[in-house]
Amino acid sequence: MLTYIIPFLILILVVVFIHEYGHYYFARKYGVGVTDFSIGFGKELFGWNDKSGTRWKICAIPLGGYVKFFGDRNVYSQSDHKEILEKYNEEEREKLFILKPLYQRVLIVFGGPLANFLLALVIFFSIYTFVGKDFTPAVINEVQKDSPAMMGGLKNQDIILEIDENEVKSIMEVSKFITMSTGDFIDFKVKRSYDELILKIKPNIVEGEDGLGNKINKRMVGIKLGAYNNEVNHVKLGPAQALYHAANEVYYVSTASLKYIGGMILGKVDTSQLGGPIRIAKISGQVATFGVLAFISMMAYISISLGLINLFPIPMLDGGHLMFYAFEKVLGRPLSQKTQEGFFRIGMILLLSLMFFTTFNDLKDLGLFS
């Protein structure tokens, strides 16, 4: 269990700290008082106070975190303005989150997801700069008999240029693009001799295992790949190129994740692969055995997921509060306390349902349910 727990704790501590620090940074920038910066929930295990009076602490349940503002329950509380004005003097009001201008509140709330995207960007940038990125063109060495690839017209020696309009810059990207596809058909753009062709391939969905031995439903087209002219092209990138490709990776993962979630809502994709903390702990432990590079790469993908999920317009998440601020901008006033409380109840039900579903998938993955 320690091989799972320790990498999981490291991953969660870093990703959650970065997220909460995004809130903290903009809060301090705009003069909001911060009384607590917590990683985890529940009983405090240890902590310390800084010169500004903020209590930095690690708590017993490491499944999230929060920043608590002066005079406020936390970044999400919706206190009554009149009550606040009566309770605090003029100097103290300057430190209250809820009395800050709308644009400042938006930046404070958006700062968490923004920090997660920036963490992923920095990780990918560092990998491409100091380790390098693969640019080996993908050539089809074998098309399996009676496979979807053969039925769709793919042939040996085809060079794969695009998959679902995503440019294939490396042989390593082919599997990723196939796995992340959500449609009934996958569009392959290939170069054959001097011609470029677009072929529609309907993948088979088969039970299999990922590279870590976890059972998954795989989208298979029936091809084996090789390097173009048997030459591997792995290069370290300069700062500008590294930044471009890092930003492109963050963008791709974000859009592909949104497509998957959209397909899940419409019932068009397999929801059994959706997991929660147990599966993340399991996979983080497995990935850690492949070394630091694989582990920090996974950290980048988890950070993107955390940032993206927090932007969903669901009350109790950052995106839910940004939605409230959008209403405030349009209406010229905040939504009533009663209306916000109603939205929060809906958000709570949605989040609890999601937690139940992902936990069920996690337990099923562990073999506790058939």
* Catalytic positions, written as ranges: 20
Distance CA 362, CA 30 (A): 41
Beta bridge partners of 163: 166, 188
Q: Which tokens is 267 given?
A: 């019932």
Report residue 157 CA to chain centroid gap: 36
Q: Are 143 and 155 in contact (CB under 8 A)?
A: yes
Distance CA 258, CA 336 (A): 31
HSE value, Cβ hemisphere, 13 Å, CA-based, for 133: 24
Name the one residue in this structure whose structure tokens are 């727990």: 5
Q: Are 21 and 114 in contact (CB under 8 A)?
A: no
Q: Which tokens is 169 given?
A: 């810059």
CA distances from 336 to 69, 97, 344, 346 (A): 22, 18, 12, 16
Amino acid letter for position 48: W
40: left (phi over 0), alpha (psi -120 to 50) or beta: left
- Angle (nearest 5°) at CA 103 between 97 and 107: 75
